[in-house]
């Protein structure tokens, strides 16, 4: 594209935005109390940073949580609002944005005067660099050695930069969800002038905090970015993250006041109750981790290539009993997406009742499972012998043990095989298993992020290898649907179909009991653990 | 003595060479590698990307080439690059070493200071109420794993004082008081178990010596009880005790893993476990070699102490 054409496109896009689209605007979120500046927030990590600050090369909260304050997105879910939806998205590096051409183009108007932590100016080049690298464009100037969310950007045809402060994402087809995925903590903008590999050892960001020191295995220290582009932010002088491997020590450190905040996704209901009993002034907020317990069944191998056996498994497992026994009530029953009020898209209790395994009377479900097993020639007296795999981690093993007991009652004798973390994903991706007890975490609470990743034909994370042409069409259709109400209905229908096919029976959605000291303000857990770690709005009332 | 030490050092080099083969082989036998772990953190696996990453890290080469490379690195003082951190291994390992050595040494000092005197008292007052009390205390020490005791200490502190030791390493120059507290508590947890073993060995060894003829002779000649025990008996009873101390110290280095984890001390042992979980070969290989060197040196020291303690034991003559 020539410079003239680029400039013309830029002018046209700006004009179109001003005329047609009421632009969404970025704003500093309103706080309920008058915030105070200063202080250092002390936080825990359950392990040292998995891949430094290289968010784009991992899919773990261990990286996202301490790396988010150093970086910025184009847009972000409002840190002060619990709910994550298109309505709660605010601008970060993008000052305004606009959907155009019936949602075929998403145009961002970038902030001016933003600087990277090494004083280089931030421009549209950085945005193009990041997203061309993520979608692995043919002419991308850099490549990630591991790219876990490439599928999120499969619908982007081109990233155009008409000028230094305008970026246009040209899409192959309309995709309202793209904006939500861009608002996830998993979607920061990298600097074009530093190699992507350097984020594994350091962090050149535009974020509210700069990396001061990372002493391996000991602490990560970030300090306030005095040149941050949002005036008056951040409130805190610094952040300090301490990797503490032992859960008991983490809890003791929080209880002793050495730490101010728990780690997202790590505080169970029981642990929170213990903490609250010990220190009544602690503030506990239950929220959705956006992590589900689910059963993966290899549809390419016997016996789970038989839909009747898969359905029997789904009918056999009493979800509500699992929530009570394994999670002590610290989880909720739901289908492929988290139910309200913990999520936005999930099926409600009424809709769930008609689906396999969700009926109010577990005995009825067990009877249905037995009947299905009898049809394929098995019974509790003459059981089907299978091997159930799970990760050699307590939360997986607890769930698997419960499932084994449930399956036994309907004529499936499952022997537990624990797989080391190092081998788990490789084994699951290869399909080298019969049935597995699995946990799945989703970045944003969004149908596209979930469906394309976990249910689409050929996706490496579709561990069951379930592939239905009908479901793919439904997923594609909802992805392009512009009417939010209609889309919600379509998403409901997909979830019902997935459960009816026992594609990957969802057992529950885990809740986290985020615990903070009362002096910590504006650190509000969202509907997903991955999206509220920016710390820009957090302040300490001491 | 010099010849003996030279011989032992030569054997030590051969032992270390053997150890290096064992360490290298065991690590490769463990299922999975760093590439599997990295993909695990990403939640997917791509065979093509996996191959490229293995090539980047050099773990696609034949094992013998990787082994020779490691030996060459040890000889040249270059410990390679940590796979997990993407940084040279030595600057990562270096600050961990003094933490573990200090903790091990303090634990041992504590164990000796507690174990030897109580063992002596227990032997001298054999079958008295005090002996029974001390034996129960030592049995409790042997029965309680150090990590459990460590956790009890932490929970006790947080429950009663709402306080726990610092979460990061505090150097003595920064604050001697905090540094001492940070190390004394875990040293207490670890040293208590070792002291129990030392106490029992001291007691049984001393009881045996106290029944010897020369002890009876010394007493018959009118020497006081404490002189007989501390000057004549204890020195001869110390050989098995020194052996146990040597073995305990060697085990301690590896055994500090859980204590360092519970007290969140940034030492070698805790780091080693994390490195193993990440299959960070360069870090694991070099840390295990470090532990092997400590074990060999502590054994050498014990052997030399034999000569000092027992005039009958003379080397090189």
Strands A166-171 and A156-163 turn out to be: antiparallel
The reply to whether residue B44 touches residue A217, judged by beta carbons under 8 angstroms, is no
**Residue B314 binned pLDDT confidence (cut-offs 50, 70, 90):** low
CATH number of the domain where residue A162 is located: 3.90.76.10
Tell me, yes or no, whether B178 and B29 share the same domain: no
Tell me, yes or no, whether A73 and A167 share the same domain: yes
Tell me, yes or no, whether B49 and B100 share the same domain: no
Tell me, yes or no, whether A306 and A448 share the same domain: yes
Of B31, B46, B168, the CB nearest to A423: B31
Of A60, A201, A252, the CB nearest to B87: A201
CA distances from B210 to B124, B195, B200, B204, B216 (A): 9, 21, 15, 10, 8
Residues 253-312 of B with CB under 8 A from A: 261-264, 266, 270-271, 274, 277, 279
pLDDT of residue B51: 92
The reply to whether residue A252 touches residue B261, judged by beta carbons under 8 angstroms, is no
The domain boundary, picked from A161, A183, A202, lies at: A202
Cα separation, A355 vs A183, whole angstroms: 32
Q: Which residues contact B230 (CB under 8 A, 6 or more apart)?
A: B120
Give kind and range of the element (H or E) at residue A222: strand A219-224
Cα separation, A162 vs A119, whole angstroms: 23
Residues 266-305 of A with CB under 8 A from B: 278-279
Reply yes or no on whether the pLDDT at B144 is more than 50: yes
The domain boundary, picked from B76, B93, B110, lies at: B93
Segments in chain A below pLDDT 70: 1-32
- Confirm or reject contact between B185 and chain A (CB < 8 A): no
The reply to whether residue A252 touches residue B154, judged by beta carbons under 8 angstroms, is yes
The reply to whether residue A145 touches residue B45, judged by beta carbons under 8 angstroms, is no
The reply to whether residue B87 touches residue A461, judged by beta carbons under 8 angstroms, is no
Q: Compare all CA atoms of chain B with the CA of A426 and give the residue at the minimum distance.
A: B45
Chain A CB contacts of B92 below 8 Å: 216
Tell me, yes or no, whether B120 and B159 share the same domain: yes
Q: Within a domain: residue A126? A: yes
CA distances from B97 to A201, B92, B260 (A): 22, 10, 12
Q: Say if residues A290 and A338 touch (Cβ distance below 8 Å).
A: yes
The reply to whether residue B36 touches residue A460, judged by beta carbons under 8 angstroms, is no
> How many domains is chain A partitioned into structurally?
2
Tell me, yes or no, whether B67 and B151 share the same domain: no
What mean pLDDT is predicted for residues B232-238? 88
The encoded tokens of residue A82 equal 């619990």
CB atoms within 10 A of CB A230: 17
Residues 447-486 of A with CB under 8 A from B: 460-461
Q: Within a domain: residue B303? A: no
Q: Compare all CA atoms of chain A with the CA of B156 and give the residue at the minimum distance.
A: A252
The reply to whether residue A146 touches residue B261, judged by beta carbons under 8 angstroms, is no
Q: Within a domain: residue B312? A: no
The encoded tokens of residue B71 equal 């030996």
Tell me, yes or no, whether B115 and B259 share the same domain: yes
pLDDT of residue A519: 97
The domain boundary, picked from A202, A236, A264, lies at: A202
The domain boundary, picked from A172, A202, A232, lies at: A202
- Confirm or reject contact between B181 and chain A (CB < 8 A): no
pLDDT of residue A20: 38
pLDDT cut 90: percent of chain B above it: 53
Q: How far is A279 from chain B (nearest CA, A)?
A: 10
Range(s) of the domain holding residue A196 = 3-22+48-202
The reply to whether residue B40 touches residue A425, judged by beta carbons under 8 angstroms, is yes
Cα separation, A299 vs A233, whole angstroms: 51
Q: Within a domain: residue B281? A: no
Reply yes or no on whether the pLDDT at B203 is more than 60: yes
pLDDT of residue A460: 84
Tell me, yes or no, whether B13 and B113 share the same domain: no
Tell me, yes or no, whether B164 and B67 share the same domain: no
Residue pairs between chains A and B whose CB atoms are closer than 8 Å: 140
Of A50, A215, A429, the CB nearest to B44: A429
Q: Within a domain: residue B306? A: no
How do residues A154-198 score in pLDDT, each as one tens digit? 999 999 999 999 999 999 999 999 999 999 999 999 999 999 999
- Confirm or reject contact between A145 and chain B (CB < 8 A): yes
Q: Within a domain: residue B237? A: yes
CATH number of the domain where residue A360 is located: 3.10.105.10
ipTM score of complex: 0.86
**Residue B313 binned pLDDT confidence (cut-offs 50, 70, 90):** low
CA distances from A115 to A112, A125, A153, A191 (A): 9, 13, 26, 10
Q: Within a domain: residue B230? A: yes
Q: How many residues does chain A have?
A: 542
Tell me, yes or no, whether A147 and A10 share the same domain: yes
Tell me, yes or no, whether B78 and B110 share the same domain: no
- Confirm or reject contact between A259 and chain B (CB < 8 A): yes
Tell me, yes or no, whether A197 and A301 share the same domain: no
Chain A CB contacts of B277 below 8 Å: 421-422
The encoded tokens of residue B226 equal 């404490």
- Confirm or reject contact between B87 and chain A (CB < 8 A): yes
Cα separation, A296 vs A438, whole angstroms: 7
Q: Within a domain: residue A33? A: no
How do residues B47-67 score in pLDDT, each as one tens digit? 888 999 999 999 999 999 999
How do residues A19-57 score in pLDDT, each as one tens digit? 333 334 344 444 457 999 999 999 999 989 988 999 999
The reply to whether residue B39 touches residue A426, judged by beta carbons under 8 angstroms, is yes
Of A244, A279, A461, the CB nearest to B264: A244
CATH number of the domain where residue B193 is located: 1.10.3720.10
**DSSP string of A338-381?**
PPTTT-SSSPPHHHHTTSTT--S-HHHHHHHHHHHHHHTT--SS
Q: Within a domain: residue B298? A: no
The reply to whether residue B44 touches residue A423, judged by beta carbons under 8 angstroms, is no
Tell me, yes or no, whether B152 and B185 share the same domain: yes
- Confirm or reject contact between A252 and chain B (CB < 8 A): yes
Q: Say if residues B7 and B313 touch (Cβ distance below 8 Å).
A: no
The reply to whether residue B151 touches residue A248, judged by beta carbons under 8 angstroms, is yes
pLDDT of residue A21: 39
The reply to whether residue A249 touches residue B264, judged by beta carbons under 8 angstroms, is yes
Tell me, yes or no, whether B218 and B175 share the same domain: yes
Of B38, B85, B158, the CB nearest to A252: B158
The reply to whether residue A217 touches residue B157, judged by beta carbons under 8 angstroms, is no
What mean pLDDT is predicted for residues B26-38? 90
Tell me, yes or no, whether A489 and A360 share the same domain: yes
Q: How many residues does chain B have?
A: 317
Tell me, yes or no, whether B249 and B203 share the same domain: yes
Chain B CB contacts of A421 below 8 Å: 32, 37, 40, 277
The domain boundary, picked from B40, B73, B93, lies at: B93
Q: Compare all CA atoms of chain B with the CA of A219 and give the residue at the minimum distance.
A: B168
Q: How far is A453 from chain B (nearest CA, A)?
A: 10
Give kind and range of the element (H or E) at residue B24: helix B2-29
Q: What's the mean per-residue pLDDT of chain A?
A: 92
Tell me, yes or no, whether B83 and B107 share the same domain: no
Q: Within a domain: residue B286? A: no
Give kind and range of the element (H or E) at residue A418: strand A412-419
The encoded tokens of residue B257 equal 């893993």
The encoded tokens of residue A98 equal 């606009």
pTM, full prediction: 0.87
B128, HSE (Cβ side, Cα atoms, 13 Å): 8
Least confident of A152-161, A188-197, B194-203, B308-317: B308-317
Question: Which of B81, B146, B150, B158 to mutate to test binding with chain A, by most A CBs within 10 Å of its CB?
Answer: B158
The reply to whether residue B264 touches residue A242, judged by beta carbons under 8 angstroms, is yes
**Residue B1 binned pLDDT confidence (cut-offs 50, 70, 90):** low
The reply to whether residue B85 touches residue A252, judged by beta carbons under 8 angstroms, is no
Range(s) of the domain holding residue B250 = 96-265
Burial of B137 (0-12, 13-18, 19+ CB in 10 A): middle
Cα separation, A210 vs A91, whole angstroms: 20
- Confirm or reject contact between A430 and chain B (CB < 8 A): yes
Cα separation, B209 vs A209, whole angstroms: 68
The domain boundary, picked from B246, B265, B284, lies at: B265
């Amino acid at each position: 594209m020539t410079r003239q054409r680029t400039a013309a496109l830029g002018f046209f896009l700006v004009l179109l935005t001003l005329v047609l689209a009421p632009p969404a605007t970025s704003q500093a979120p309103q706080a309920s109390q008058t915030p105070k500046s200063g202080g250092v927030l002390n936080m825990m990590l359950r392990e040292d940073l998995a891949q430094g600050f290289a968010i784009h090369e991992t899919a773990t909260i261990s990286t996202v949580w301490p790396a988010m304050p150093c970086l910025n997105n184009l847009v972000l879910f409002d840190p002060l609002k619990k709910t994550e939806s298109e309505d709660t998205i605010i601008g970060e590096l993008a000052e305004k944005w606009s959907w155009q051409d019936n949602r075929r183009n998403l145009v961002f108007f970038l902030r001016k005067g933003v600087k990277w932590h090494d004083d280089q100016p931030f421009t549209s080049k950085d945005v193009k660099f990041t997203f061309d690298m993520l979608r692995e464009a043919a002419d991308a100037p850099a490549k990630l050695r591991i790219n876990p969310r490439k599928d999120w950007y499969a619908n982007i045809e081109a990233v155009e930069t008409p000028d230094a402060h305008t970026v246009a994402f040209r899409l192959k087809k309309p995709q309202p969800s793209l904006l939500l995925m861009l608002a996830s903590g998993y979607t920061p903008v990298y600097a074009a002038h530093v190699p992507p590999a350097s984020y594994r050892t350091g962090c050149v960001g535009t974020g509210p905090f700069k990396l001061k020191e990372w002493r391996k295995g000991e602490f990560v220290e970030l300090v306030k970015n005095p040149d941050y582009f949002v005036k008056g932010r951040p409130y805190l002088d610094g952040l300090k993250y301490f990797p503490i491997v032992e859960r008991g020590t983490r809890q003791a450190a929080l209880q002793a006041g050495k730490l101010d905040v728990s780690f997202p996704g790590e505080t169970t209901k029981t642990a929170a109750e213990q903490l609250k009993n010990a220190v009544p002034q602690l503030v506990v907020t239950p929220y959705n981790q956006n992590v589900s317990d689910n059963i993966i069944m290899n549809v390419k191998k016997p016996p789970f290539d038989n839909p009747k056996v898969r359905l029997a498994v789904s009918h056999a497992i009493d979800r509500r009993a699992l929530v009570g026994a394994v999670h002590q009530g610290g989880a909720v029953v739901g289908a492929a997406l988290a139910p309200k009020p913990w999520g936005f898209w999930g099926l409600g209790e009424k809709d769930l009742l008609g689906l396999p395994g969700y009926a109010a009377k577990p005995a009825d479900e067990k009877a249905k499972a037995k009947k299905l097993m009898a049809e394929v020639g098995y019974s509790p007296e003459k059981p089907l012998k299978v091997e159930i795999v799970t990760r050699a981690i307590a939360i997986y093993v607890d769930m698997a043990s419960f499932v084994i007991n449930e399956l036994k009652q309907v004529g499936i004798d499952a022997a537990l095989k624990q797989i080391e973390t190092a081998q788990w994903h490789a084994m699951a991706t290869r399909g080298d298993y019969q049935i597995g007890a699995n946990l799945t975490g989703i970045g944003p609470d969004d149908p596209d992020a979930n469906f394309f990743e976990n249910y689409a034909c050929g996706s490496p994370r579709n561990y069951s290898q379930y592939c239905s042409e009908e479901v793919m069409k439904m997923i594609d259709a909802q992805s392009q649907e512009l009417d939010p109400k209609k889309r919600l209905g379509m998403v409901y229908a997909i979830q019902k179909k997935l459960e009816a096919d026992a594609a990957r029976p969802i057992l529950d959605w885990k809740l986290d009991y985020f615990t903070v000291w009362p002096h910590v303000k504006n650190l509000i857990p969202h509907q997903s653990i991955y999206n509220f770690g920016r710390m820009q709005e957090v302040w300490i009332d001491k | 003595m010099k010849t003996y030490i030279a011989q032992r050092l030569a054997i030590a080099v051969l032992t270390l060479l053997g150890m290096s083969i064992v360490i290298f082989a065991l690590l490769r036998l463990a299922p999975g590698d760093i590439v599997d772990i990295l993909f695990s953190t990403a939640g997917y696996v791509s065979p093509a990307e996996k191959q490229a990453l293995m090539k980047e890290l050099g773990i696609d080469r034949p094992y013998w080439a990787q082994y020779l490379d490691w030996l060459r690195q040890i000889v040249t003082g270059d410990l390679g690059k940590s796979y997990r951190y993407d940084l040279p291994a030595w600057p990562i390992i270096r600050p961990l070493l003094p933490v573990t050595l200090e903790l091990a040494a303090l634990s041992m000092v504590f164990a000796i200071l507690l174990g030897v005197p109580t063992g002596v008292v227990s032997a001298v007052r054999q079958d008295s109420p005090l002996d029974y009390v001390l034996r129960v205390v030592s049995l409790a020490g042997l029965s309680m794993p150090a990590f459990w005791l460590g956790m009890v200490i932490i929970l006790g502190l947080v429950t009663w004082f709402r306080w726990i030791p610092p979460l990061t390493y505090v150097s003595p120059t920064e604050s001697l008081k905090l540094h001492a507290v940070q190390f004394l508590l875990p040293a207490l947890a670890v040293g208590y178990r070792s002291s129990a073993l030392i106490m029992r060995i001291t007691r049984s060894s001393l009881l045996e010596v106290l029944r010897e003829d020369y002890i009876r002779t010394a007493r018959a000649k009118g020497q006081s009880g404490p002189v007989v025990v501390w000057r004549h008996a204890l020195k001869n009873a110390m050989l098995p005790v020194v052996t146990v101390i040597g073995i305990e110290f060697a085990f301690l280095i590896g055994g500090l893993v859980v204590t360092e984890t519970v007290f969140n001390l940034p030492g070698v042992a805790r780091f080693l476990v994390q490195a193993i979980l990440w299959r960070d070969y360069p870090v694991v290989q070099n840390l295990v070699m470090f532990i092997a060197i400590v074990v060999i040196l502590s054994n050498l020291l014990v052997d030399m102490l034999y000569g000092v303690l027992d005039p009958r034991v003379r080397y090189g003559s």
